[in-house]
Chain A
């Protein structure tokens, strides 16, 4: 399982809609932009978002002798993507499965997909602490998993669930690489006043309480939203934005941690 993958990073959050998939895709794209070979696996079976976010909807998975071939975003084959979205005939089809079937599917994604040589595999997860998460954690005992990045928004109702996810990581023995606070402020396009719609600083507070590194605070930036549907990285498109700055920090943090030599900047 995942023999050719050097590092595995799981992106988690107890809460839904906090930006796990957006952070996962932008992190994968940022790692690629800094010269790494990256894989992105979407294990949200009931609500896969990665195909849409990368503009890959409608791509078909092919089978080869060694298993399923993931979707490559371009000729360079530096970003490989796998999601249940590629296996559905219609984008509106629901996947109405109970736990055991979801477990089988995730095991297949990890064992039967032909993950080539790659520096990082990013795993995007659904919200909660249930079948999908237990399965991934069980599989992670057999492969070199570096740890988890937790995504949260700053409001109390999200933090409640994220605290449960941190407990889950501690109980299952997965290392917490850090917390990313997303959607922390919205800059009004009319008057440039920044409003903290979902209050502020919750992620930083939580990181302090849980004694986990705080990896950064991402604002609500509509310019980043516009990038969804393409494989453009914020690092190249919006190099001066705070989102790009934070993604660069996370990449550096990961490279230092995983001791993968950073290739020459592209």
Chain B
């Protein structure tokens, strides 16, 4: 059994580790305070080497589950790939327990191949490739029942052993929360020499029970020093296909994403209305770039904002 860290633990990565008063009596104090033992995770160098031709990395985050992180990742990828045909895009799904990208990008049942330079990601389009744990599972019913360290190892492999090649932008779809997956990916990808290579986009829905968790995620980004490109409000309104009137399915009793963005001092990139046609196409893994409606118009604006700020 592991002893819990002292209440005011400065954190093992902190400069003060092992030195402040809270560390007195902690069984790990001698490890933390010894400067020669501060070894960097060897994985970090491997990741840096494997990702040297990946220009930008974009984390799609949200504290809350089911707000559309994966759907937004898919929609952005499809749109960016169509609008910028000369650029290359990659998608990495680090939701280990609930991978959704294979279905949303229409690649269910595909296999990952091993080559001399590592795992080859699955090609989705001429300029889009995808890697997800979904490709490594025998069946959709297979559960990945792993504790944190094993998930960490998998993410390290995805970052260091996948042959991403030359990419202009790698979009990383994440699970909800602020835990193992998030800490791992940030520790591997954050490059203090090039802080502009890693950005985050936050996805939310308008109701307070989602915003509550999303504020936590924004504070996570601030603590981890990840620049936030902005917030995307998903499922903001619903247009009835029968009478054409809009209504709020998830009422924004506290002002929705707009009010939260002002409160947390982050930009709002745009709002995506809920459209049953888009939902259905995503479930079937179809390309939505040929559609013309409010959702796709909003997406086009968001995409151009993203590309201009990278």
Contacts and interface: CB of A to CB of B under 8 A. Distances in A.
Interface residues of B, number: 68
A178 interface: no
A153 B217 CA distance: 24
Interface string B68-102: 00110000000000000000000000001110100
A134 interface: yes
Interface stretch (B50-58, B156-164, B174-182): B174-182
A100 B148 contact: yes
A81 to B, nearest CB: 16
B143 A157 contact: no
Nearest to A168: B143
B283 interface: yes
B interface secondary structure, majority: loop
Contacts, number: 203
Contacts of B146: 129-130
Interface residues of A, number: 63
A130 B210 CA distance: 22
Given A99-B149, A157-B70, A188 B245 contact: yes
Which 5 residue pairs of A and B lie closest in terms of their CB atoms, listed nearest first? A16-B65, A17-B66, A99-B148, A46-B177, A193-B242
Interface of B: 2, 4-5, 63-67, 70-71, 96-98, 100, 103-104, 140-149, 151, 175-180, 182-183, 205, 207-210, 212-213, 215-220, 223, 238, 240-243, 245, 247-251, 264, 274, 276, 279-280, 282-284
17 contacts: A15-B66, A16-B98, A17-B210, A47-B65, A97-B179, A98-B179, A99-B148, A133-B145, A157-B283, A161-B97, A161-B100, A164-B97, A167-B143, A188-B243, A190-B247, A195-B240, A222-B251
Given A129-B146, A131-B147, A157-B104, 16 more contacts: A15-B65, A15-B66, A16-B98, A92-B264, A93-B219, A95-B178, A96-B178, A98-B179, A100-B2, A100-B148, A156-B284, A157-B283, A164-B143, A168-B145, A171-B143, A193-B243
Interface of A: 14-18, 21, 45-47, 49, 52-53, 91-102, 104, 126-131, 133-134, 153, 155-158, 160-161, 163-168, 171-172, 186, 188-191, 193, 195-199, 220, 222, 225, 228
